[in-house]
């Protein structure tokens, strides 16, 4: 039945509509044929028998009286029946009495009457015999013959009619089927066509025309609705795609631009590199030049100085007052020139020498400087809070303070004065300030003072080379800091300079292994995170017993141990003894809570290198760690 399945819908529909009609018609045809075959013969036979009976009833008289003509006339009446083409009357002897022959009939002879039957069909047609009687006396036999084609013709006519009917009804059925199948098929075809078109063209604006309110109508509605939604989505998608394409386009453009810029930058960097190299070389040359020249200048200058002195010494009697004054002036100028040259030498040496960075106690450096400068008794140095540890070349820091404090001393004219040195914490740098109560500097000179050889004082009797602040600026800037001045005439001056705080292990000695021994888990977590962020390795435990086992298992030799001695479950003395035995080189720093009543007392244990107050910042922690790592001699104290 696959052929049925593969038939087009149109043909299937046609088949559905036409098949019943065809079957009905064929059945009708069959029944007709059957009826004709068996029904019409019986009717014809009955007709002829009735005719024969009626005729023989009348013919009896004619036969009795041998009225042949009358008999013939009567027989002629049979011509009314078109089937009959021959009729005759036979007497008892079988002699023909009278006969009727339809004109054009080809009837030959009267057959013998079969015994026991008065009618039969054969190929020549229907033969009917009927006895002719008169008053109960047999007189002869009436014979009627119908042409075989008579009923056959009828039969054919009937058949033709049936076929015609069949054809007509089939045609009607076809038309109807065609109409019906169009009603069903057209919407489906349209749907299918629309689907195919859409599949091919992707045109979702297509709509199928609805042809009725039946299920197909619903289907069309749904189909159209589906198309509408798809179209909506597609247009939304298209918009999205457009937006994305736009973005992509922009991105590509930006990328191209970026690539171009990168190219340019690389080129520029290359050029810059060459320029920088050139600059560095020239700078080095210049520094060498400055150094060599100033060095070579110094020797003759010393000679001039010596010679002037000898002249003054040996020829004092010969010289008059004016001559002595000139020589004195010459000596002063020589001295000043020497100071200049010394300044240039220092300045150029700054660029040449490498820096020896370490953790320096700036408080200590400042105190040392103040002592060296040998200030008058009336001058006071005020340091409101202890200065922090900084990562610096100690000699340079010394020079910075020396120049700034020296300047402050120099520019304080009144016998009494105060120099205040303090600091603030600015992000990732310390900002130091050196404030004096001196003469102050007019704002228009604020830039000038940092330039080389720009002393604001008159030259008379002054050894200042004017290089001090230039030197300070160079040192501060070489260490990644900045310097500025805040001053008004008569109100004193404040110099500010910054010192960067090393934040990562890159700038410092590197990664340190730290072990935290503290029952406070929050604190431990916080500190661990803090130290890990600084690039250190951290392990921790809440008790020493636990800590011991951790340290025994892990391949972790602590360099620094942070310990809260105030909350230890174990005896602190015992813990420290064991610790020092296990790790003789470990640096122990006590981390005491701000409210720890006996924290400082505990921190006096000789094994504890320093104390630090909780909570602390990353910078402070790192400074402490680096300090402990750099110089494990002496106690470390964190200042707040």
Partner 1 sequence: MTSTTPILLVEDDDVDVENVTRAFEENRLTNPLVIARHGEHALQLLSKHPSCEEGSSATRPGLILLDINMPIMNGIEFLTTLKENPSLCTIPVVVLTTSQEESDRKESFCHWVAGYFLKPVEYEDFVRVIGVIVSYWTLSESAP
Our CB check for partner 1 shows the closer of 22 and 355 to be 355
Our CB check for partner 1 shows the closer of 345 and 562 to be 345
Our CB check for partner 1 shows the closer of 346 and 629 to be 346
Question: What would the two tokens of residue 98 be?
Answer: 């009278």
Our CB check for partner 1 shows the closer of 13 and 301 to be 301
Distance between CA atoms of residues 409 and 595, nearest Å:
41
Q: How many chain residues interact with partner 1 (CB under 8 A)?
A: 16
Q: What is the secondary structure of 508-554 as a DSSP string?
A: SS---EEEEE-S-HHHHHHHHHHHHHTT-EEEEESSHHHHHHHHHHS
Shortest gap between Cβ of 392 and partner 1 (angstroms)?
20
Shortest gap between Cβ of 406 and partner 1 (angstroms)?
19
Does position 335 interact with partner 1 (CB under 8 A)? The reply is yes
Shortest gap between Cβ of 334 and partner 1 (angstroms)?
8
Beta bridge partner(s), residue 133: 138
Give the 3-state secondary structure of residue 603: coil
Our CB check for partner 1 shows the closer of 81 and 305 to be 305
Does position 345 interact with partner 1 (CB under 8 A)? The reply is yes
Half-sphere exposure of 117 (CA within 13 A, CB side): 10
| 8 A C-beta contact, residue 578 and residue 544 | yes
Shortest gap between Cβ of 332 and partner 1 (angstroms)?
12
Our CB check for partner 1 shows the closer of 335 and 445 to be 335
Q: What is the secondary structure of 474-519 as a DSSP string?
A: HHHHHTT--EEEEE-TTS-EEEEEEEEPP-STTTSS---EEEEE-S
Non-local (6+) Cβ contacts of 163 within 8 A are 29
Shortest gap between Cβ of 395 and partner 1 (angstroms)?
12
Contacts of residues 174-181 at CB distance under 8 Å and 24 or more positions apart, as own/partner, are: 174/14, 174/17, 174/18, 176/17, 177/13, 177/14, 177/16, 177/17, 177/18, 178/14, 180/13, 180/17, 181/10, 181/13, 181/14, 181/17
Shortest gap between Cβ of 302 and partner 1 (angstroms)?
6
Distance between CA atoms of residues 488 and 440, nearest Å:
5
Instruction: Using CB under 8 A, pick the residue from 338, 394, 411, 474 that binds partner 1.
Output: 338
Contacts of residues 523-530 at CB distance under 8 Å and 24 or more positions apart, as own/partner, are: 523/564, 523/591, 523/614, 523/615, 526/615, 527/562, 527/591, 527/621, 530/618, 530/621
Shortest gap between Cβ of 305 and partner 1 (angstroms)?
6
Our CB check for partner 1 shows the closer of 254 and 286 to be 286
Shortest gap between Cβ of 466 and partner 1 (angstroms)?
18
Shortest gap between Cβ of 450 and partner 1 (angstroms)?
25
| 8 A C-beta contact, residue 14 and residue 174 | yes
Q: Footprint of partner 1 on residues 349-378 (CB under 8 A)?
A: 353
Give the 3-state secondary structure of residue 425: strand
Our CB check for partner 1 shows the closer of 239 and 302 to be 302
Shortest gap between Cβ of 445 and partner 1 (angstroms)?
30
Q: Characterize 346-377 residue by residue with b for buried, 16 or more Cβ atoms within 10 angstroms of its Cβ, and e for exposed.
A: bbbebeeeeeebbbbbbbebbbebbeebebee
Shortest gap between Cβ of 579 and partner 1 (angstroms)?
43
Half-sphere exposure of 237 (CA within 13 A, CB side): 6
Our CB check for partner 1 shows the closer of 291 and 556 to be 291
420 membership: H or E segment, kind and range: strand 417-426
422 membership: H or E segment, kind and range: strand 417-426
Question: What would the two tokens of residue 361 be?
Answer: 């106690």
Shortest gap between Cβ of 355 and partner 1 (angstroms)?
14
Shortest gap between Cβ of 318 and partner 1 (angstroms)?
18
Our CB check for partner 1 shows the closer of 324 and 535 to be 324
Q: What is the secondary structure of 14-60 as a DSSP string?
A: HHHHHHHHHHHHHHHHHHHHHHIIIIIHHHHHHHHHHHHHHHHHHHH
Phi, psi of 540 (to 5 degrees): -150, 160
Q: CA of 439: how far to CAs of 151, 338, 413, 487, 495, in Å?
A: 158, 27, 7, 9, 14
Shortest gap between Cβ of 549 and partner 1 (angstroms)?
52
Our CB check for partner 1 shows the closer of 348 and 403 to be 348
Does position 561 interact with partner 1 (CB under 8 A)? The reply is no
Our CB check for partner 1 shows the closer of 294 and 626 to be 294
Distance between CA atoms of residues 470 and 122, nearest Å:
155
Our CB check for partner 1 shows the closer of 308 and 487 to be 308
Placement of tokens 């924290």 in the chain? 599
Q: Footprint of partner 1 on residues 298-327 (CB under 8 A)?
A: 298-299, 301-303, 305-307, 309-310, 313
Placement of tokens 């011509």 in the chain? 79
| 8 A C-beta contact, residue 436 and residue 419 | yes
Our CB check for partner 1 shows the closer of 185 and 347 to be 347
Shortest gap between Cβ of 330 and partner 1 (angstroms)?
13
Distance between CA atoms of residues 134 and 151, nearest Å:
32
432 membership: H or E segment, kind and range: strand 429-435
| 8 A C-beta contact, residue 469 and residue 463 | no
Q: Footprint of partner 1 on residues 259-298 (CB under 8 A)?
A: 295, 298
Our CB check for partner 1 shows the closer of 118 and 346 to be 346
Contacts to partner 1 by CB under 8 A:
295, 298-299, 301-303, 305-307, 309-310, 313, 335, 338, 345, 353
């Amino acid at each position: 039945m696959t052929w049925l399945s593969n038939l087009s819908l149109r043909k299937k529909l046609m088949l559905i509509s036409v098949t019943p009609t065809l079957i009905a018609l064929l059945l009708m045809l069959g029944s007709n044929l059957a009826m004709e075959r068996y029904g019409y013969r019986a009717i014809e036979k009955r007709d002829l028998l009735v005719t024969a009976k009626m005729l023989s009833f009348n013919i009896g008289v004619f036969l009795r009286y041998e009225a042949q003509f009358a008999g013939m006339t009567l027989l002629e009446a049979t011509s009314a029946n078109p089937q009959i083409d021959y009729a005759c009357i036979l007497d008892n002897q079988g002699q023909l009495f009278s006969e009727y022959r339809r004109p054009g009939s080809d009837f030959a002879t009267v057959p013998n009457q079969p015994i026991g039957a008065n009618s039969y069909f054969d190929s020549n047609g229907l033969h009917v015999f009927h006895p002719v009687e008169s008053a109960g006396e047999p007189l002869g036999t009436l014979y009627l013959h119908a042409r075989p084609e008579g009923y056959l013709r009828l039969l054919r006519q009937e058949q033709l009619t049936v076929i015609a009917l069949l054809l007509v009804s089939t045609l009607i059925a076809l038309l109807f089927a065609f109409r019906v199948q169009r009603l069903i098929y057209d919407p489906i075809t349209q749907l299918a066509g629309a689907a195919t078109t859409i599949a091919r063209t992707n045109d979702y604006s297509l709509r199928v025309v609805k042809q009725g309110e039946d299920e197909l109508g619903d289907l069309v509605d749904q189909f159209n609705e589906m198309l509408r939604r798809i179209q909506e989505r597609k247009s939304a998608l298209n918009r999205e795609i457009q937006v994305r394409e736009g973005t992509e386009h922009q991105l590509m453009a930006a990328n191209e631009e970026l690539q171009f810029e990168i190219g340019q930058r690389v080129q520029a960097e290359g050029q810059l590199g060459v320029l920088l190299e050139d600059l560095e070389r020239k700078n080095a040359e210049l520094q060498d030049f400055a150094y060599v020249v100033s060095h070579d200048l110094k020797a003759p200058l010393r000679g001039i100085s010596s010679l002037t002195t000898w002249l003054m010494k040996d020829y004092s009697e010969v010289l008059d007052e004016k001559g002595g004054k000139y020589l004195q002036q010459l000596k002063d100028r020589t001295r000043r020139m020497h100071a200049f040259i010394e300044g240039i030498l220092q300045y150029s040496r700054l660029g040449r020498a490498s820096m020896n960075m370490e953790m320096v106690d700036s408080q200590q450096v400042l105190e040392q400087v103040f002592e060296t400068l040998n200030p008058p008794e009336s001058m006071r140095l005020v340091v409101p809070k202890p200065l922090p540890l900084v990562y610096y070349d100690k000699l340079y820091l010394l020079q910075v303070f020396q120049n700034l404090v020296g300047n402050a001393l120099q520019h304080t004219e009144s016998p009494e004065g105060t120099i205040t040195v303090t600091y603030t914490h600015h992000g990732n740098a310390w900002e130091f300030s050196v404030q004096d109560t001196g003469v102050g500097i007019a704002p228009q000179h604020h830039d000038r003072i940092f330039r080389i050889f720009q002393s604001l004082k008159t030259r008379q009797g002054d050894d200042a080379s004017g290089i001090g602040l230039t030197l300070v600026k160079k040192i501060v800037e070489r260490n990644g800091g900045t310097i500025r001045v805040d001053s008004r005439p008569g109100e004193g001056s404040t110099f500010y300079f910054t010192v960067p705080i090393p934040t990562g292990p890159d700038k410092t000695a590197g990664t340190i292994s730290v072990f935290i021994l503290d029952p406070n888990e929050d604190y431990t977590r916080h500190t661990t995170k803090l130290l890990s962020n600084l690039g250190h390795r951290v392990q921790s435990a809440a008790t020493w017993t636990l800590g011991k086992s951790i340290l025994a298992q892990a391949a972790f030799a602590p360099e620094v141990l942070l310990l809260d001695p105030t909350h230890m479950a174990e005896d602190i003395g015992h813990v420290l003894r064991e610790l020092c035995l296990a790790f003789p080189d470990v640096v122990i720093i006590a981390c005491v809570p701000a409210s720890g009543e006996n924290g400082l007392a505990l921190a006096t244990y000789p094994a504890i290198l320093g104390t630090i107050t909780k909570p602390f910042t990353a910078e402070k922690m790192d400074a402490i760690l680096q300090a402990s790592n750099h110089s494990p001699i002496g106690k470390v104290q964190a200042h707040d």
